[in-house]
Amino acid sequence: MTETDGPLVETRGIAKAFSGVEVLHGIDLDLWAGEVHALLGENGAGKSTYAKILAGVHRPTRGEVRLAGRPVNIGSPLEAQRLGVTLIHQEPLSFPHLTVAENLFVGGEDTGVLGRVPWRRMAAEAERLIGALGVTIDPQAVMAGLSIADQQMVEIARALASDTRLIIMDEPTAPLTPREVATLFDIVRRLKAEGRAIVFISHRLEEVRALCDRVTVFRDGALISTASVADLTDDDIIRLMIGRPLQEYLHKEVASLGEEALSVSGLTRGGAFTDISFSLRKGEVLGVAGLVGAGRTDVARAIFGIAPAEAGEIRIHGKPTTIAEPDDAIAHRIAYVPEDRAIAGIFRTLPVDQNITAAAPGAIAAGPFISPRREREIAADAIDRLSIRLASVHQPIGELSGGNQQKAILARWLLTDPEILILDEPTRGIDVGVKAEFYDRINQLAAEGRAVLLISSDLPELLTLADRILVMSEGRLTGEFSRAEADQEKIMQAAVPRTAA
């Protein structure tokens, strides 16, 4: 089925832009039948975008995909499936209420309105496909009742049902136990032996080393290097992942740190984070590094009262405090700029001024009534100070650019005059110029004596801004570095999970 004289998949100059911002720049990569190919890179390096282009979820802005030598146009996941390309999502995209057998076969080709469901044949076929994976899952079981690992197996079986030639697994091991990982690896090796190509996206170097033949490192939307796994040490790989020349940002003045503003001890929430303890002083910028899914955002959400911790203690200015709702957190002068602006930040259709004043009702109201004049003044002042670019304060915030939306959210929280500021990926997806403004602003906030908890996946950013950096991995604290001792390599070493499969 696959020609032996060339790669199975060739991508040439694949690029992708979202709303004019290019996030993937001209990727040339060959994938061979019978190899397991690892894609590595920091968060946002472009691996997932690349994978989604191959799977027909995104269309490339330019570039060409060739399959077994023939140029193909992968317009939809369904077409990808027909061409023999399957993407296995980390959280399986399935029908929770249908049976395993149905999840394997529903959709697919349209046999018309009156087509019958061949339950018996489906069950037999499902049995065969799942059996071929060497696992036991009842084809008649309902999907929602399976473990994540078993659901993944069903997804893999589904790929095999359509005679897949290329299987892309996006961080498949993240939700699995070590034993389940071992089973998965056996299956991947078997698929490889059958002559299929497998793309394996993971953060875990041990797994890459155990499973993969070649590795490609992505960074900032570009392909940095492709090499045989055997030719690289772990340290080589990490260096490739972070290897950008350190941009020279002005380090902030070493601030005189004040008394303790916030401390948490033994903070735990099942499945999200375990035994988190740290303290944060006034005037300090405490960075939190870690990979996606490390639990950093969950800790922030717990402190801010969105999804409170199940165990542990939060102290504010040394006093034990219960925070059950964001409202409580705000009363304790805590502010939180969330990671996902569109979901948790902006009121898309409401005017900019109303977005800015949302968390500081006291500032714009006289009694229960809003003073439009005061609101306008306050908003205008904030817009001016943060140089937010807009046509009018009455403009719906959704019409602003991402950077200006983010400034408006920051402005919202500055209006509450917070003592403790939690910033979650504050500069993600923001262009360089605005980024520099944010850095100045964060430095200034610390200099004013506010305590800043800065969650970021951008290591140079952390190294530029933070006085101290905590590293989280798989829900636990795995490192703490002072500004003097921190460097990208040490942080990545602590952030990348290295537990053997």
Partner 1 sequence: MTALSRLIRAREAGLVVMLVILAVVVGAIQPRFLTVGTLDIILLAIPLILVAAMGQMMVIVARHVDLSIGSILGFASIAVGMMFRDIPEMPLWLGFILAIAIGAGLGFVNGLIIALFRLPAIIVTLGTLSLYRGLIFILSGGRQVDPNHIPEALIRMAQTSPIGVPWIVIIAFLTALLAYIFLRHMRLGREIYAAGSNPDAARLRGIRVNRVTLVVFSLSGAMAGLAGLMYAARFGYVNPGITGVGFELTVIAAVVIGGVSINGGIGTVPGVVLGVLLLGAVSVALPILGISGFWQDAIYGAIIVIALIVDGSVRAGGLVRLVTGRGG
Partner 2 sequence: MSATETFDAAKARPLWHRIVVRPESVTLLLLIGAVFVSAWLSPFFADLRFVLESATFYIEFGIIALMLTLVVVSGEIDLSVAATMALSACLFGIAHRAGLGMPVAMLIGLGSGALMGLFNGVLVTVFRLPSIIATIGTMVLYRGIAQVIAGDRSVGGFPDWFVGIDFIAVGIVPVPVILFVVLAILLGLVLGSTLFGRQIYQTGTNPIAARHAGIRVDRLKMILFTASGLTSAVAGLLMASRLGVVRYDLATGGELQVVLIVMLGGTYIFGGRGTIAGTFLALWLLIIIQTGMTVANIAIEAQLTVLGLLLILAIISANAIYAGGRR
Positions that interact with partner 1 (CB under 8 A): 76-78, 93-98, 102, 106-108, 110-117, 119, 138, 141-142, 144-146
Q: Interface with partner 2 by CB under 8 A: which range of 205-213, 231-239, 351-359, 438-446?
A: 351-359
Q: How far is the CB of 492 from partner 2 (least distance, A)?
A: 22
Q: How far is the CB of 155 from partner 1 (least distance, A)?
A: 11
Q: CA 245 to CA 248: how far, in whole Å?
A: 9
- Residue whose CB is less far from partner 2, 20 or 115: 20
Q: Does the protein bind partner 2 through residue 338 (CB under 8 A)?
A: yes
Q: Which amino acid is at 46?
A: G
- Residue whose CB is less far from partner 1, 117 or 436: 117
Binding mask 296-325 for partner 2 (x = CB under 8 A): --------x-x------------------x
Concatenating the DSSP letter of every residue in 333-368 gives TEEEE-S-IIIII--TTSBHHHHHTTT-HHHHEETT
- Residue whose CB is less far from partner 2, 149 or 386: 386
Q: CA 381 to CA 235: how far, in whole Å?
A: 49
- Residue whose CB is less far from partner 2, 251 or 348: 348
Q: Which amino acid is at 496?
A: V
Sign of the alpha-carbon torsion through 401, 402, 407, 411: positive
| H-helix or E-strand spanning residue 471 | strand 468-473
Q: How far is the CB of 215 from partner 2 (least distance, A)?
A: 22
What does the chain come to in residues?
501
Q: How far is the CB of 371 from partner 2 (least distance, A)?
A: 9
Q: Does the protein bind partner 2 through residue 45 (CB under 8 A)?
A: no
Nearest Cα residue to 49 out of 4, 16, 78: 16
- Residue whose CB is less far from partner 1, 18 or 119: 119
96 binds, among partner 2, partner 1, none (CB under 5 to 8 A by kind): partner 1
CA 406 to chain centre: 18
346 binds, among partner 1, partner 2, none (CB under 5 to 8 A by kind): partner 2
345 binds, among partner 1, partner 2, none (CB under 5 to 8 A by kind): partner 2
Q: CA 495 to CA 241: how far, in whole Å?
A: 13
93 binds, among partner 1, partner 2, none (CB under 5 to 8 A by kind): partner 1
Angle between helices 148-161 and 119-132 (to 10 degrees): 110
**Count of positions on this chain that bind partner 2 (CB under 8 A):** 50
- Residue whose CB is less far from partner 2, 271 or 367: 367
Pairing between β-strand 260-269 and β-strand 311-316 as defined by DSSP bridges: antiparallel
Nearest Cα residue to 15 out of 66, 49, 48: 49
Q: Does the protein bind partner 2 through residue 412 (CB under 8 A)?
A: yes
Per-residue 3-state assignment (H helix, E strand, C coil) for 203-237:
CCHHHHHHHCCEEEEEECCEEEEEEEHHHCCHHHH
The residue from 340, 377, 448, 485 that contacts partner 2 (CB under 8 A) is 340
User: What is the number of other CB atoms lying within 10 angstroms of the CB of residue 230?
Assistant: 9
Residues that bind partner 2 (CB under 8 A): 18-21, 23, 48-49, 304, 306, 325-327, 329-330, 336, 338, 340-350, 354, 358-359, 361, 364-365, 368-370, 390-392, 394-396, 398-402, 412, 428-429
